[in-house]
Amino acid sequence: MVRLHLAIDLQYQVGAPGADFIFNLQAAQTRQQFIVWEELLVSQAVPLASHTDPATHTRTLRLTALPGPLTVRYRATLDVTHHVADAASVMEVPVAMLPPEALIYLYPSRYCQSDCLTSQAMELFGGLPMGYGRVKAIQDWVQQQVAFESNTSNSMTSALDTLGSHEGVCRDFAHLMIAMCRALNIPARFTTAIDFGADPALGPTDFHAYVEAYIGHRWYIFDPSGTAIPMGFMRIGTGRDAADASFATIFGTVTSQAPLIDISAQTDLRNGWQYPVHRAEGLSTDAVFSWNLVNAR
Amino acid sequence: MVRLHLAIDLQYQVGAPGADFIFNLQAAQTRQQFIVWEELLVSQAVPLASHTDPATHTRTLRLTALPGPLTVRYRATLDVTHHVADAASVMEVPVAMLPPEALIYLYPSRYCQSDCLTSQAMELFGGLPMGYGRVKAIQDWVQQQVAFESNTSNSMTSALDTLGSHEGVCRDFAHLMIAMCRALNIPARFTTAIDFGADPALGPTDFHAYVEAYIGHRWYIFDPSGTAIPMGFMRIGTGRDAADASFATIFGTVTSQAPLIDISAQTDLRNGWQYPVHRAEGLSTDAVFSWNLVNAR
Amino acid sequence: MVRLHLAIDLQYQVGAPGADFIFNLQAAQTRQQFIVWEELLVSQAVPLASHTDPATHTRTLRLTALPGPLTVRYRATLDVTHHVADAASVMEVPVAMLPPEALIYLYPSRYCQSDCLTSQAMELFGGLPMGYGRVKAIQDWVQQQVAFESNTSNSMTSALDTLGSHEGVCRDFAHLMIAMCRALNIPARFTTAIDFGADPALGPTDFHAYVEAYIGHRWYIFDPSGTAIPMGFMRIGTGRDAADASFATIFGTVTSQAPLIDISAQTDLRNGWQYPVHRAEGLSTDAVFSWNLVNAR
Amino acid sequence: MVRLHLAIDLQYQVGAPGADFIFNLQAAQTRQQFIVWEELLVSQAVPLASHTDPATHTRTLRLTALPGPLTVRYRATLDVTHHVADAASVMEVPVAMLPPEALIYLYPSRYCQSDCLTSQAMELFGGLPMGYGRVKAIQDWVQQQVAFESNTSNSMTSALDTLGSHEGVCRDFAHLMIAMCRALNIPARFTTAIDFGADPALGPTDFHAYVEAYIGHRWYIFDPSGTAIPMGFMRIGTGRDAADASFATIFGTVTSQAPLIDISAQTDLRNGWQYPVHRAEGLSTDAVFSWNLVNAR
């Protein structure tokens, strides 16, 4: 178990006549991620509407802000329980055995045009043994292909763009890896977290995007940009790609400051709280079950 | 909007070889009840498993405690937004117009044997005009019939028992009112909260049970024991009766101390935070929609 | 796999000013029960509203009938795939490992007052080895205790009543068995089907109630009235007890005729369609998964 | 109400070593689309796994076929109830009032890159009065821009491609219209049906794609290719774009024949069954409700 402390501060200046905000900002409450403590403060006294997606547990917060300054302050303490598996034991799941909830993550999405990458994926990875190792090989290949460069991509940059430009940020690494997985019929999805353990030379602590691949009947975590420590990720938003899990979607004229973010891990072996480290094993914090077992006779 | 601060402290002594606990203890996160801040601390370093029911938003926490002391400490700050309606405008919903989600609350349940009360309900309330006023009349009748007496009922006491004994606690008032509503084809359900504003003479602050009736296409709040101020209720568990919404179900040999509970309201008119008061209007913090509108042509 | 053909004909005479009907009549579409063909005809040209419960797959049909005759004709062909398990290998699931979806089936309900049977259940079955065999022992005990007698019970008869009267119909056998299972912390639920293979001496083919107990991480089928062949059951309604799964709930003045029902199995070994027979193994057509695996580390 | 009869026949030749099929083929069972009668026959005796998405009601059928011929035969009779609204009365829904279930249909998807069309959408339609009329104007514009030409697009063709090529099939018209709607913050989604009433000169009856826009707190139907009669559409699959609602996704080496499809409407005014005609009013067969009402105080 890992105990994480998170602080996010967002600052906006809202222009007339006001603006609508849709945030996917709060930590997800799941069976493997327990929210011990949490606080959300919004500087304007406006109604807050919340919604939790039953399938992904992504929490959406919507508000309509008045003109003027708006700050959103979020604090949380979380206990994350990792499923740890010997990578060699994690098999790919044949399409015939996938749970229905995983099927949508086989299909192409806005930033992960897997349908355009089928031949390339087969050429590069079709000959590898199926399993965790093949997904890891895709991750390594993405890391070799793409250089981490801030401000080289924008909200319209897709996996195909990144494949051409060979540069991007975590979001772009994730999109390319997801597209390659799906092109091989491996369900893959986009998850947001904070970049725990990132090299300070890369800049201040920020929102991070990582990949989950459905193998071994669980969602295993991959960090294709390689900039952070996966054991220190806590789940915020989960979806098909960045279109589903943006931390803030804004409708209106708003100027934003860079988010101020801090994340730390608390160690206490007596309580079972480990410090997040890089691990060679497969890590997972989510599973779905259903179809795969029912036709057994 | 009402801002509430809640503190719950539970203390147990767990016997060998340990015990399983299922709690329905945390405030529900709903579209009208926003959790600003929350903390849950469990004294033993055991895994915590959580589940939120998608239909009722009731949050279940399960843990297996080791022998020895166990304390559970919960703190929360909530903003509750009330739908306030002129009671005269709130109609009953004919069965043909009920949303499917409300149908189960028409049926009898363990402690609300509405099927045995049909004639009595028709005799007492069948002649009244349908609407909020009729449900209010049921509430008033329950209050007249039953005297609030601690320790007169137990976990097996049902609406039929209370109808005979004429005494009980909030749970029993709620069960009898729910059974009467259902006997008249008015969906009714059991909700738990803290008894905000209760007369200190009734004892220390405690878990409270109230009733929600589905009228006017919303769930309207009723407090048949009349001991507290409904505007100060925050939703914890929601279900058919006490069987669904017990704050703690324990499997094993455990001795419990009385819960230590505190609830307060913070007033700040600049922020729109009102002080909870008794109101003549109908109050609701939940709605469901679906069937009722679809056959319109 | 078993292929079943089902025919149900219902006839009503509706009095003025009309009546509302809520039916749970159609076969459930589940991962192990596939509807090959289906037809539902209602004699009156009134709108039909349908709803499928996402948790149980029970299909609800609601309509408002005009005064006069009303007939409902349902035909279906289904392929049911059974999970067959060696009874000795099916363990009980400790409360700490139950999926959240199964928890509500631990709690007492209207007709299954398990909370009143705890001591008796422990006395009778507490000493038996836990597992399929213990649940089978409860089934056998119910069969010994209760004599199948038509018209000895009504819609208000509960497990406690049956325990006293020692007579009842399939519904009553099921309620008593469910209550005993829950009293031992074994989740149990009420399911409706048609009594495939029932002795014609018991009367014409009719709606049947059977029990499902959550053991071995599946819902296993038990037929405590012993009047039919479980392999020939197709799932209609699933719930806590008869309150949830009545085939028709009627609001208004209506006279009913006895349902005309026919069910048959089609055998074709080339297609894998077996004839339903009594089997010594455990049979299951539903499973849920979730909590039970997530805390594994 | 419209009564429709549907027949679909699919024929495949499956190569070694077999193939997995995921079909979204069966009519959706919704509150406004009632399946009176239905039959699905698969020529190979293989297990069929089914899943119904609780949010969209799309029904997924999965099977693993053996090498050799495979035929899938589907027949259904449906009653579709239309919500008919005076177009002038149907307003757009501000983002602040959208139900959470509609939000995902604001975001760009694989074939509907709305994020790339913002300026163009504002330029073309930003000045029009908001409401049904504006969505209709988008539909008319798409119809003017794009020529219906078979075999001019493929499974990788997106809205941006169609905007450039000015030709496509119904799928492409739908994608372009959806992208334009989303670029204006109008939720829009992709729905499949059969092209009822299509000009026989366009070829044999086929699967059709149409658009639903969330306005006036309902999903209103638009047919941007203008080739069919919307009152005669029955819902099959619903999703973000063609990636979600393909009638068949095939994994393996398979040769397909063109689907054989027939659809007809049965008229009987005594039963309330109208013949589908072109209508000037807005038509809708689905609604969602939630957030939009809850903050009323």
pLDDT, one tens digit per residue, over C44-79 is: 988 888 888 888 999 999 999 999 999 999 999 999
Q: Which residue has tokens 């983002």?
A: D95
Question: What's the pLDDT at D291?
Answer: 37
How much of chain A, in percent, has pLDDT values that exceed 90? 83
Whole-number pLDDT of residue A288: 66
Closest partner residue to B96 among C20, C51, C113, by Cβ? Answer: C20
Confidence band of D297 (pLDDT split at 50, 70, 90): very low
D257-270: pLDDT as tens digits: 999 999 999 999 88
* CATH number belonging to the domain at B83-244+276-294, selected among 3.10.620.30, 3.10.129.10, 3.40.630.40, 3.20.20.70: 3.10.620.30
Alpha-carbon span B40 to B45, nearest angstrom: 13
A29·B38 Cβ contact <8 A: no
Neighbours of chain D (3+ CB pairs under 8 A): A, B, C
| Per-residue model confidence (pLDDT) at position C32 | 86
pLDDT for position A202: 86
According to the model, what pLDDT value does residue D293 have? 31
Is residue B271 scored above 90 in pLDDT? no
Write the pLDDT tens digit of every residue in D77-102: 999 999 999 999 999 999 988 888 89
Contact C89/A at CB under 8 A: no
Within 13 Å of residue C247, how many CA atoms lie on the same side as its CB? 22
What are the tens digits of pLDDT across the range B85-130?
Answer: 999 999 999 998 888 889 999 999 999 999 999 999 999 999 999 9
pLDDT at residue D228 greater than cutoff 60: yes
Q: Residue B297 — very low, low, confident or very high, per pLDDT cuts 50/70/90?
A: very low
Same fold, D2-80 and D83-242+272-294: no
> What does the DSSP 8-state code read for residue B256?
E
- At the second CATH level, the architecture of D83-242+272-294 is Roll (3.10)
What pLDDT score does C49 carry? 83
Sequential DSSP letters for A103-152: HGGGS-BTTB-GGGSHHHHHHHHTTSPSSHHHHHHHHHHHHHH-EE-TTS
Polymer length in residues for chain B: 297
pLDDT at A161 over 60: yes
Chain A environment of B52 (Cβ under 8 Å): 29, 52
Contact criterion met (CB below 8 Å) for D114 and D68: no
pLDDT given for residue A232 in this prediction: 96
How much is the CA Rg of chain D, to the nearest whole Å? 19
Nearest CA in chain C to D57: C52
Mean pLDDT for all residues in chain A: 93
* Domain C83-243+278-294: CATH class, spelled out: alpha beta
Q: What is the mean pLDDT of chain C?
A: 93
- Higher pLDDT pick, C231 / B30: C231
Contact A83 C297 (CB under 8 A): yes
The predicted pLDDT at position C74 comes to 97
The predicted model gives D182-208 an average pLDDT of: 95
Cβ neighbours of C290 in A, within 8 Å: 31, 289
The CATH number of B2-80 is 2.60.40.2250
Bridge-based pairing state of the strands D282-286 and D83-85? antiparallel
Judge whether residue D292 has pLDDT over 80.
no
pLDDT tens sequence across C158-217: 999 999 999 999 999 999 999 999 999 999 999 999 999 998 888 899 999 999 999 998
- B110/C115 Cβ within 8 A: yes
SS3 C44: coil
pLDDT digits (tens, 9 = 90+) for A102-125: 999 999 999 999 999 999 999 999
Secondary element (H or E) of residue B275: none
Q: At what angle do helices B118-125 and B132-145 cross, to 10 degrees?
A: 110
**Per-residue pLDDT reduced to its tens digit, B194-213:** 999 998 888 899 999 999 99
- What is the number of other CB atoms lying within 10 angstroms of the CB of residue A296? 11
Q: What is the ipTM of this complex?
A: 0.93
pLDDT single digits (tens) B155-164: 999 999 999 9
Q: Nearest CB to A50: which of B34, B38, B49?
A: B34
Q: Is the pLDDT of residue A212 over 80?
A: yes
Can you list the positions of beta strands (E) in A216-277?
218-222, 238-239, 248-251, 254-256, 260-266
Of the pLDDT bands very low, low, confident and very high (cuts 50, 70, 90), residue C289 is low
The predicted-structure confidence for A215-260, as pLDDT tens digits, reads as follows: 998 999 999 999 999 999 999 999 999 999 999 999 999 999 999 9
Average pLDDT of the residues in D285-293: 56
pLDDT of amino acid A290:
37
Residue recorded with tokens 């939703």: B235
pLDDT (mean) for D166-184: 97
CA C34 to centroid of chain Cα atoms? 17
pLDDT digits (tens, 9 = 90+) for C111-144: 999 999 999 999 999 999 999 999 999 999 999 9
CATH number of this structure's domain A83-242+285-294: 3.10.620.30
A160 SS3 class? helix
Place of tokens 């007496």: B149
Specify the pLDDT at position B286.
86
Asked if residue B50 lies in contact with residue A31, where contact means CB atoms within 8 angstroms, the answer is yes
Domain ranges of chain C: 83-243+278-294
Instruction: For residues A101 and A187, give the distance between their C-alpha atoms in angstroms, rounded to a whole number.
Output: 10
Cβ atoms < 10 Å from Cβ of A166: 12
Mean pLDDT to the nearest integer, C235-253: 96
pTM above 0.80, yes or no: yes
Do residue D81 and residue C47 have CB atoms under 8 angstroms apart?
yes
Instruction: State mean pLDDT over A77-81.
Output: 93
Q: Is the pLDDT of residue B292 over 50?
A: no
- CB-based contact, A49 to chain D, within 8 Å: yes
| Contacting C residues, span 28-47, partner chain A, CB-CB under 8 Å | 31-32
